[in-house]
Amino acid sequence: MSPTTYIVGAGGQLGTALRARAAAGADVRALTSADVDITDASSVTAALAGLRAGDVVLNCAAFTNVDGAEADPDGSYAVNRDGPTHLASSTAAAGAWLIHVSTDYVFAGAAATDAGPRRSRPYEPDDVTGVPETVYGASKLAGERGALGADPTATVVRTAWVYTGGPDSPDFVGTMRRLESQRDELTVVDDQTGSPTYAVDLAAGLWELAAAGPRDGIAGAVLHATNEGSVTWHTVAQAVFTEIGADPSRVRPCTTAQFPRPAPRPAFSVLSGRSWAAAGLTPLRDWRSALHAAITDPGPALDTLTP
């Protein structure tokens, strides 16, 4: 009997992309929040009752509202810490493999509004995380530790700045596409640097990882997977305008201090892809090529899929 892959958080941005990129004939079980409450251990046990040795659980469920987490830390920790810990307990008991998706926000870094020198070297998985400055980052870091503590063979994959980019998508790229037709000019922060990651590319990478299996260098490891390259949000917005045939000079730069948010944003949160390549996995393409594909050749509409 072929292994089954359970996608937890199958109704979200990445979960939808994972379903779209699943190989034909693969045994995939999509679990949305209507199917399992990962904050409840008994709900997880029930939803994964058929889990067997060799099966894979891909967890992309998360409380991702960075500002909302500041107002609801209990909710953030319930999903981002307790959820993956419950899933890891089930995979450990069954002899299955958990792949848990995490974030660049687990690193403390420096807030974009802080004075002083800025980091310029991409983060490696073994770099000290420090104490994250946001509830979201702290809860995701606790989730990494909870998952690996409950199942030492689990694999954590950190990523960053994920988007699908459709014209109706609520992510940054989709928002820029909509605002272009609504405003003469936009002002976008130009002092936060990261790696935009196309959800479809990340999904393809996660499927490659799942196919590789929990071998040495992967089982129990923390890996980083983003599209290659690093830019500011302002540069991304200008690139979006260019792709849709608009004048990129209509996007004006500003500082984070001029655009305050409840949760502090890191000045630099670029993740190094060396660990991904060292594990024998295909590096994700450069961010600019990925953005072009997202806007000009997105393939089937991800939001038309049903779990």
Phi and psi based region of residue 117 (left: phi greater than 0; alpha: psi -120 to 50; beta: remaining): beta
Q: Which of the following is catalytic: 77, 105, 123, 136? A: 136
Three-state secondary structure call for residue 260: coil
**Three-class SS of residue 139?**
helix
Would you state the torsion angle of the CA atoms of residues 48, 164, 137, 280, taken in this order, to the nearest 10 degrees? Answer: 70
Active-site residue flag, 163 = no
Q: Give CA torsion, residues 104, 107, 110, 113, to 10 deg.
A: 50
The half-sphere exposure of 107 on its side-chain side, counting CA atoms within 13 A, is: 26
Question: Count of CB atoms within 10 A of residue 227's CB?
Answer: 26
Q: How far apart are CA 181 and CA 136, in angstroms?
A: 32
- Residues labelled catalytic: 136
